[in-house]
Amino acid sequence: MSTLSEIARKVQKGEISAEKTVQESLDRVAAAQGLNAYISVLPEYALEKARDLDRRIASGETVGPLAGVPIAIKDNIVVAAGKTTCGSHILENFESPYDATVIGRLLAAGAVPVGKTNLDEFAMGSTSETSAFGAPVNPIDAGITPGGSSGGSAVAVASGTVPVSLGSDTGGSIRQPAACCGIVGMKPTYGRVSRYGLVAYASSLDQIGPFARNVADAALLLNTLAGFDARDNTSSTQVIPDFTSALGGSLKGKTIGIPKEAFGEGLDAGVEASVRAALAACEREGAKIVEIHLPALKFAVAAYYVIATAEASANLSRYDGVRYTHRTSNPKNLMELYSKSRSEGFGAEVKKRILLGTYVLSSGFYDAYYMQAQKARRVLTADFEKAFAQCDVIAMPTMPAPPPKVGDIFKDPMAIYLQDIYTVGVNLAGLPAISLPVASTEGMPVGLQLIGRAFGETELFGIAAGAERSAAGMGAG
């Protein structure tokens, strides 16, 4: 499949029509229906947008840098067409009256949303299996999960239905599915991309980002997504550089920090071997590898699950059976309307997290859990800052083990939470990070994660592209 810039160039020049490009994508979506990557498809909407682009091109108008590029959107990002379910029965029939800021930006750049992708309910999970609409299937191997929570967006790209898609990452939900499906997934710095129209899970951690088949496409897509938005009060006013500007750079003189704490107990030997081989290839291309320390990484999972659930319990209180979609029938009084609507509408994982979040915020436990977690968050953020005095990027696996097998999450949920060890700390510190597929020694997809300085996406993409080229030299796809 062509890269984003190839597609856009051909459409802009009239070599192929946007309509044909989008129709072909819709055909591939239909052919791959069995993978359950999409909760809903938007054929009429997408074709109308494509025809409109073709008309504008025919009349000599200049169209945007993503003209005619079909894109899949995680179903917790609102589009003013079709439904936005968040993978939950409670929003099963919810129709958004407005577009998320990122959707407005994509449309202005000429990209065409073709459908809404499957996810863990309200993005809570790491395997996409908590979706109320059944789990998406990993095209590499149906016995392993595609990762989560943005599993549908990863499958949509990995199976070739679209060249790029959007996910959201609160604690790894872009990077983990990218690793599980053998593609690229990137979480920008907190504040880089507007969260307006992203249904909130944990507002201080949530960030929208791209999935792509290569680093260059991810960087190009971020150029369109990023930018200040007055409708998101955590949106950053930092200037937006051209994220593709360092892509051709060499790895010579770049320093990659390897945290000692990330390569110890609990790391699968096969994953470690793949990641170390990829780093050795970077070293051969001129990168310098140094050991660094993130002593507070050991607190990351605990702190994350306290903070994320606390924020979720507050954010999800808005689903009360009065607004939005699911409402119980014949409640006896207002309290019963609330409790029955919520009991019927939410799935087990979401209920578990609301209970946990309510508990850690309750008086008497607030200091013991929530305050402690906030302290751990500050210490970990300081650890990262210290580490970046010694290196340009930090490298570690995206996940400590190969993709979870289908059904594992229901047998041992704690084991799956612990697999968030390498991703959640990045959200707690608000940093940008990317997961790249690297050659696997055991036939299972493995992700190499590179973490950048806050607002250092351009350099991060540059080094990631270098790592991608070195990995290709090793024979990886």
Task: Tell me the catalytic residues.
Answer: 74, 149, 173
Q: Which stretch binds ligand GLN (CB under 6 A): 117-125, 156-164, 315-323, 451-459?
A: 117-125
Nearer to ligand GLN, 30 or 418 (CB): 418
Nearer to ligand GLN, 101 or 126 (CB): 126
281-320: which residues touch ligand GLN (CB under 6 A)? Answer: 308
User: Please, which residues bridge with residue 185 across strands?
Assistant: 211, 435
Nearer to ligand GLN, 85 or 170 (CB): 170
53-112: which residues touch ligand GLN (CB under 6 A)? Answer: none
Q: How far is the CB of 155 from ligand GLN (least distance, A)?
A: 16
Report yes or no: 152 and 128 within 8 Å, Cβ to Cβ: yes
How many of the chain's residues bind ligand GLN (CB under 6 A)? Answer: 13
- List, as one string, the DSSP characters of 239-252: ----TTTTTT--ST
- List, as one string, the DSSP characters of 406-423: TTHHHH-HHHHHHTTTTT
Q: Which stretch binds ligand GLN (CB under 6 A): 84-92, 164-172, 233-241, 457-465?
A: 164-172
Q: How far is CA 339 from the centre of its chain?
A: 31
Nearer to ligand GLN, 68 or 172 (CB): 172
Helix or strand holding residue 72 (H, E) = strand 70-74
Q: How far is the CB of 305 from ligand GLN (least distance, A)?
A: 7
Q: How far is the CB of 43 from ligand GLN (least distance, A)?
A: 28
**DSSP state letter for 171:** S
Nearer to ligand GLN, 312 or 463 (CB): 312
316-375: which residues touch ligand GLN (CB under 6 A)? Answer: none
User: Please, which residues bridge with residue 193 across strands?
Assistant: 226
Indicate which single residue of 96, 118, 149, 440 sits in contact with ligand GLN (rule: CB under 6 A). Answer: 149
Q: How far is the CB of 74 from ligand GLN (least distance, A)?
A: 10
The length of the chain in residues reads 477
CA dist., res. 326 & res. 192, Å (int): 33
Report yes or no: 373 and 380 within 8 Å, Cβ to Cβ: no
CA dist., res. 305 & res. 303, Å (int): 6
375-434: which residues touch ligand GLN (CB under 6 A)? Answer: 420
By Cβ distance, which residue is nearest to ligand GLN?
173
**DSSP state letter for 35:** G
Report yes or no: 290 and 390 within 8 Å, Cβ to Cβ: yes
Helical segments of 59-204, H only: 101-109, 151-158, 175-181
Binding mask 165-184 for ligand GLN (x = CB under 6 A): ----xxxxx-----------
- Would you call 95 helix, strand, or coil by DSSP? coil
Binding mask 118-147 for ligand GLN (x = CB under 6 A): -----xxxx---------------------
Report yes or no: 339 and 355 within 8 Å, Cβ to Cβ: no
Report yes or no: 11 and 43 within 8 Å, Cβ to Cβ: no
227-266: which residues touch ligand GLN (CB under 6 A)? Answer: none
Report yes or no: 170 and 427 within 8 Å, Cβ to Cβ: yes
Q: How far is the CB of 354 from ligand GLN (least distance, A)?
A: 13
Nearer to ligand GLN, 304 or 392 (CB): 304
What's the one-letter identity of residue 246? A
What's the one-letter identity of residue 122? F
200-229: which residues touch ligand GLN (CB under 6 A)? Answer: 201
The neighbour count for residue 476, using CB atoms within 10 Å, is: 20
Q: How far is the CB of 386 from ligand GLN (least distance, A)?
A: 25
Nearer to ligand GLN, 205 or 476 (CB): 205
Q: How far is the CB of 246 from ligand GLN (least distance, A)?
A: 27
Which residues of the chain form contacts with ligand GLN (CB under 6 A)? Answer: 123-126, 149, 169-173, 201, 308, 420
